[in-house]
Amino acid sequence: FRNSAPILLEATNGRLSIRSFQLTGGDPNFSLKGALTYLHHPALDLKANGTLDLQFLQLFQPQFQSSGGAVLSAAITGNPKSPLLNGTLQIQNGQLFAPGFPNGLSDVNGSVRFDNQRANIERLTAKTGGGTVNAAGFVDFSASGPLAYSMEAHADSVRVRYANSISVTANS
């Protein structure tokens, strides 16, 4: 990733304005614009748009292996302690492999709709263990405590290998 132009920030009277922030390189073409008020009444007014390479997930979880693309269009508003996120995320041809899990995910495609403090997974499909998985649900991050979530997944002909010797194929 690299910025395609100078990053331009302006700070005046307790407000940080992002005039130019554009990342490019390979598939990524991502921009962030807007403002952050940091004095008296902190507030966010940001817009994030563009394409991302899913390898960026490795910045947060270096042990993961990830690839594929995502298209993000989102507005981030509200208080920094309790931000509101509205928009969509489309995942395209993703792959995710996490240590400790017997199967990775490939051909990950789906859509997530952000509605204030809730992420609605409208559709998520992937291949794993020679079969397919379909999932939908939500994650609610409005409470100050643990995340509230509900997920429903269906597996078709998915094989999971245990302890390098037992292999089970199942539908759910």
What's phi and psi for 120, nearest 5 deg?
Answer: -100, 115
**DSSP secondary structure, 47-67, as one string:** EEEEEEEGGGGGGT-TT-EEE
pLDDT digits (tens, 9 = 90+) for 78-129: 999 889 999 999 999 999 999 888 899 999 999 999 999 999 999 999 999 9
- State the Cα angle at 85 between 51 and 5, rounded to 5°: 40
pLDDT digits (tens, 9 = 90+) for 51-82: 988 888 888 889 999 999 999 999 999 999 88
- Residue 1: band (very low, low, confident or very high) from pLDDT cuts 50, 70, 90: low
Which segments of the chain are extended strands (E)?
2-3, 8-12, 15-20, 22-24, 29-37, 43-53, 65-79, 82-97, 105-116, 118-128, 131-140, 148-156, 158-162, 166-170
For the chain, the average pLDDT equals 90
CB contact at 8 A, 116 and 123 = no
